[in-house]
A and B are shown apart, each in its own frame.
Chain A
Amino acid sequence: MTAEQQSQQTQSGSEFEREPVPQSKRLGFKSFVGMYAGEHTAGTELMIGPLFVAAGVSAFDVVVGLIAGNVLAVLSWVFLCAPIATRARLTLYYQLEKICGRKLVTLYNLANGVMFCFLAGAMVTVSATALGVWFKFPMPELSDRYPNSVGWVLAVLACGAMISVVAAYGYEIVSKVANIAAPWMVLVFIAFGLVGLGQFIDATGTQIDSLADVWTLAQTSIWKGGDPLPDRIKFTFWHVMFFAWFCNMAMHIGMSDLSVLRFAKKTWYAIASGTGMFLGHFLAWLAASILYAFQLHQDPANTKVLPGPLTYQAAGLTGLLCVIVAGWTTANPTIYRAGLAFQAIIPKSSRFRVTMITGAIATIAAMFPALAMKLLEFVALYGLILMPMGAVVFMDFWVIPKLGLRGSYAELSGRSFNWAAGAAWIVTLAVCLGIVFVVGSWTLYFVALPGWFIASGVYLGLSRVYQRQALPSLARQQISPGAAEA
C-alpha cells in the first residue's frame, strides 16, 4: 500500500482518522517516491509550462528560478511539514480540530473543498482540449473567459460527467490506473520536451555541437524573455521561483501533507517530494513550455494554450492519450478529496451524492476557460488561502508551549471556534488580498511569504490574550478530572 492509498483510506474515515499512526503501519521511503512523482505529474503541468512562455519568461529565469523554487518547496516539506507529521502522526484535519475547534475546521473544509473543485475544473478543461483535436470544434483563446462554442461546452460536459461518475463509483480503480500510467506518463512528458527541442533545431537550422549551443537556442528561440502576451503579467526569476515554491503551498507550508507524511518512518522521507518537483514541476513544465514556444515560433498569432493540439503535434495519439490520462487520473482524486472535504461538513450525506455534486461544480467551472487560462493566478491564490492554517499548526506545535501557553487549545477548552486561529486566518487573508488589490495583481505570487509571518504573529499574539480570557473555564476543565478522581 502506498502512502497516498494510506492517506486516502484515512481520509475516507476507515483508519487512524482520530489517532496517531501506529509503528506497524509506517511506510518506507520508496512509497513516498512513487506517490510524489505521480501526484505532481498532472494534466495541469501542460497548462502551467505554456503560461510561463506567455508571461515572457527568459531561459535563465525559468530554468534557475524553477530549480531554486523547487528546492525551497522540498525544504519546506522536509523542515516545516514532516517534523510535525512524524511527531504527532495525525491528519491535518484532526490536528486542526484540536487547535481550532470543530466549527473553524468546518470553514477550513469548505474553503479547501471549493479550491479542490476549481482545481479539478482546470484538469477537466485540460482533458477537454484533447477532444477538440478529434471533433474540431472551436476551442478557447488565451484571453477567453466564457465558453466560446457549443462543442466546447459538450466536450467539457462529457469529460466532467465521465470523471465525476468514475470518482463516485470506482475511485479505487482510477487510483490503480493512475499508478500504472505514472511511469509511462513521466516518459511521455520528457518525450514532449525532446521532440519540441528537435523541432526547434530543425525550424531554426541551429547547429548543435555542445550543451552551450542548446543553451543559446533556449535563450534566443524558446524562452526569449521580452514582453509578455497581452493581459499577462511579466514573469522574472523571482516570479518563477516564488511560483514554484508556493504552487504546492497548501501541501507543505499549509500542512495538508501532514495526512500523508504521518505514515513516514523517518522525517527525512519528505525529501521524496523532490521527485514530484523535479519530474513534474521542472521537466514537465519545461517540456510543455517548449511545445508552446514552438507553436508561437511557427505562428506568433496562435497564442492558444491548448494541451490537446500541442501534444498531438509532438507525439500524435500518444500525446492525446497522455492529456486525457493526465487530466483524468489527477482530476479524479481531486474531486474525491473535494467531496471528502464537503462530506466532513455534512457527515450524514452520502459519499456518492456529494462526489457527484462536487463533480458537477467542477464541470461547470471547467466550461469557463478563464479558470485554466489564469491557472498561475489561481494556483497562487489556492496556496495563499490555505497557508495561514499551516502557520497556525506550526506555531501551535513548536512555539505556543515555549510561551507558556496551551497547544491544541480548542480540545483543552472544549471550544468549537478558537478565535485566535480564526482571526489569524481572516486577518492574514484580508491583509494579503488587500495588498494584491491595492498594490497590484503581480504581488499575488509573493504575498504568501509575509502572510505566513502575519498569520504566525496574529495567532501568537491573540492566543496570549484569548487564553488568558478563557483561563477560568480551562482551569475548571483541568480541575474537574482530578476532583472526580479524588
Chain B
Amino acid sequence: MQKTTLLKIVSLLSLVALILPSILFLAGRMELTTVKWVMLAATVVWFVAATPWMWKQSG
C-alpha cells in the first residue's frame, strides 16, 4: 500500500517535470535542448513509476 502511494507521488511529480520545462521555455527561462532532456527523463520516470499501479487499476 505504501509502495503504491510512493509510486503515485513519483508519477505525479514526473508529470509536473514533464510540463514544467515547456512553461519555463515559454517564459524564456530554459534552453530548448534542456527542455528536451528533462522531458525525456520525466517520460522514463512516468512509465516506470505509473506502470505498476496503473496496470493493476486498468485490469
Chain A residues within 8 Å of B, Cβ to Cβ: 2, 5, 175-176, 179-181, 183-184, 187-188, 190-191, 194-195, 197-199, 201-202, 315-318, 321
Contacts and interface: CB of A to CB of B under 8 A. Distances in A.
Contacts of A317: 36, 40
A191 B22 contact: yes
23 contacts: A175-B58, A179-B58, A180-B51, A183-B15, A184-B46, A187-B15, A188-B43, A190-B19, A190-B22, A194-B22, A194-B26, A195-B22, A195-B25, A195-B32, A197-B26, A198-B25, A198-B26, A199-B32, A315-B22, A316-B39, A318-B40, A318-B42, A318-B43
A195 B55 contact: no
Contacts of A201: 26, 28
| Chain B facing A: main interface SS | helix
Interface in B11-59: 15, 18-19, 21-23, 25-26, 28, 32, 35-37, 39-40, 42-43, 46-47, 50-51, 54-55, 57-59
A215 to B, nearest CB: 15
Given A179-B58, A184-B46, A316 B37 contact: yes
Contact of B40 (A180, A181, A198, A316): A316
Given A180-B47, A184-B43, A318-B42, 17 more contacts: A5-B58, A176-B54, A176-B55, A179-B54, A179-B57, A184-B18, A184-B47, A188-B43, A194-B23, A194-B25, A195-B32, A197-B26, A198-B28, A316-B36, A316-B37, A318-B36, A318-B40
Nearest to A180: B54
Nearest to B46: A184
B36 to A, nearest CB: 3
Contacts of A199: 32
Given A187-B15, A316-B36, A317-B36, A176 B59 contact: yes
Which are the 10 A-B pairs with shortest beta-carbon distances? A316-B36, A191-B22, A194-B22, A198-B26, A318-B39, A179-B58, A198-B25, A180-B54, A194-B26, A187-B19
Given A180-B58, A187-B15, A195 B46 contact: no
A188 to B, nearest CB: 7
A171 B22 CA distance: 33
B15 A195 contact: no
- Most chain A CB within 10 A, of B15, B39, B46, B55, is at B39
Nearest to B38: A318
A316 B42 CA distance: 13
B13 to A, nearest CB: 13
Given A194-B25, A195-B25, A198-B28, A180 B55 contact: yes
